[in-house]
Amino acid sequence: MKKMMLLACMLAAQAQAAITVKDDAGRTVTLAKPAERVISMAPHVTEMLFAAGGGKRIVGAVNYSDYPEAAKSIPRIGSNREIDIERVIALKPDLIIAWMHNSSERQIEMVKQLGVPVFQSDPQTLDNIPDNVVRLGLLMGTEAEAQANASQLRQQLVSLRARYANRPPVRTFYQVWDKPLYTLSGKHIITDALRLCGGENIFDKLTVTAPIVSVESVLQADPEVIFGTAEKNYGGVGLWKPYGTMHAVRKDNLFTLDGDLLNRAGPRMVLGTAALCEKLELARQRRAK
């Protein structure tokens, strides 16, 4: 009897020690103990892991994982489009944080076959960002730092919402790339950032998350503001300057922002959203001119 009771207590203790969270795909991820060797499969994930207090636990990351500074020295396992599976195996991870996008499904299935738990991080709203930080902290046993940083992010979002609540709407075109001309639909977190600032995405209703659109369709929609991001080998928003009758051109509302702060759904996106809001507010002020 005593042995059975002891066994029951041990099993109960093990059950309590297990860590279980839901990832952004709605899947349950369970670890027997906090993760100590973590691989990041996206730049925004790397930033999340540092914010969650787990920077020293990252043993591998994809290209462009360059923030914070310490992230630059993490061994590379490939890109977010193609990873070196043998390198992943050699690093002996006990947790992999993946990002689901159109080209990643095959490689995510590959890493799942390794038997290593996979957490999929794909924030759809700004509020999902601090939520991700908290869940990653739980998986790594760094809850205190994760909770503290998540709390700061939530407070910053509360302040932004209070500042820009009920501001007059501004019709906006968000340009991801110029050749071909890519934008983002209402399914993308960028649209959530725009909404917080009082911006209206002119392509909000498109079904594809990152659709290709025509110059003619943008001209027809006649946005009041056009945003682009600073990237290499990218023509930028200057392509619109010849179209002098467009509202955004007439009011000089062609803005370029830091792509790392907006195109990565990590903690710094809150700062990117603040910059987005400031430019939309500037566009409102120019209405009187």
Q: What's the CATH number of domain 167-288, 1.10.110.30, 3.40.50.10360, 3.20.20.140, 3.40.50.1980?
A: 3.40.50.1980
The per-residue pLDDT for 112 is 81
Per-residue burial over 31-62, b if 16 or more Cβ lie within 10 Å, else e, is: beebbeebbbbbbbbbbbbbbbbbbebbbbbb
The per-residue pLDDT for 81 is 76
* Residue labelled with tokens 């590959």: 110
pLDDT in tens, 198-231: 999 999 999 998 999 999 999 999 999 999 987 7
d(CA 287, CA 289): 6
d(CA 254, CA 279): 10
Which residues in the chain land under pLDDT 50? 8-15
The per-residue pLDDT for 1 is 53
The per-residue pLDDT for 3 is 53
Question: Whole-model pTM?
Answer: 0.89
The per-residue pLDDT for 113 is 83
The per-residue pLDDT for 131 is 98
The per-residue pLDDT for 15 is 46
**In the chain, what are the domain boundaries?**
16-151, 167-288
Question: Which residues are CB-contacts of 163 (< 8 A; sequence separation ≥ 6)?
Answer: 277
Is 67:130 a contact under the CB 8 Å cutoff?
no
Measured in degrees and rounded to the nearest 5, phi and psi for residue 182 equal -100, 145
The two domains 16-151 and 167-288 share their CATH topology (first three levels equal)? yes
CATH fold for domain 16-151 = Rossmann fold (3.40.50)
The per-residue pLDDT for 38 is 98
The per-residue pLDDT for 61 is 96
